[in-house]
Amino acid sequence: MITDVPGVRVGHWTDAAARTGCTVVLFPAGTVASGEVRGGAPGTREWALLAPERLVARVDAVVLSGGSAFGLAACDGVMRFCEERGMGFPTPAGVVPIVVGAVVYDLAVGDASVRPGPDEGYAACAAATAGPLETGAVGAGAGATIGGWRGPQRVRPGGIGSASARDGALVVGALLAVNAWGEHAEDADPEALPEWAPFGQSTTIGVVATNAVLDKVGCLLVAQSAQDGMARALQPAHGAADGDAVVAASVGGVDAPVERVRVLASRVVEAAVRAVRPAVA
């Protein structure tokens, strides 16, 4: 799981009745991050600062949320949680928490009037743990679905998946909210073509974390390889109806070649997506 990476904590807030929720990944001080969007319909917050040329290299938290763009409000509660604990970019007026967010569209699945907001984001932070974490229909995956590309009759539950890999002292972990337009590659007919594409109603979003020492450029390369892992696990991926986005974060501590981290990143993302695999109808 992603919590196998030292210092990484994850918490969920879930409304099982409304089938929505949010998931927060909290990082230790000094964590460096970048990210990449490949889907055509992203919903994100503070994504521009992840670019390697931007001033701030750190990240304090990543929020994955249901509720479509409404769910980005959960980031406000995460900002409050981090500020209370002195987590953030130092400025003369105090710390400014660096909180990056991405959302999935789950409004058509449960109760569209219920969306994660500031209190829910705060609650997910308060529930964060460095131990084993709950996966499946929780947090940002509570209302997730898979397989809409071949029509409504093919839609099945998605959810939260996580995986990790080790190479000596090096650890790479991934956490994905799988709300994919496509389906698992092993279930897909290689000659099938899309039958149903409601714009912006699917997305796979997530985080890759490692204890390798990387700068922002290295993190961007890892995020790109993470997207490759997504494309191996889902067919198709990165469509116009997807908002596929991945943050890659380095907590540091271990010297390792970036190419080794990239290979492991693609593997753990593929494994995390495949872990969210309901029975084929």
Domains in the chain: boundaries: 2-130+138-275
pLDDT on residue 130:
96
Closest C-alpha among 94, 84, 99, 93 to residue 27: 99
Rounded to 10°, the helix 216-233/258-275 angle is: 40
pLDDT on residue 90:
94
pLDDT on residue 2:
97
pLDDT on residue 280:
46
Tokens of 139: 């947090």
Superfamily of domain 2-130+138-275: L-amino peptidase D-ALA esterase/amidase (3.60.70.12)
* CA angle (242 as vertex; 259, 141 as ends), nearest 5: 85
**Residue 192 φ then ψ, to 5°:** -75, 150
- Give the residue carrying structure tokens 């990143």: 265
Cβ atoms 143, 106 nearer than 8 A: yes
Give the residue ranges of the chain where pLDDT is below 70: 184-185, 187-201, 278-281
The DSSP secondary structure of 67-133, one letter per residue, reads SGGGGGGHHHHHHHHHHHTT-SEEETTEEE--EEEEE---TTTS-TT----HHHHHHHHHT-BSS--
Instruction: Tell me the torsion sign for CA atoms 148, 149, 153, 159.
Output: negative
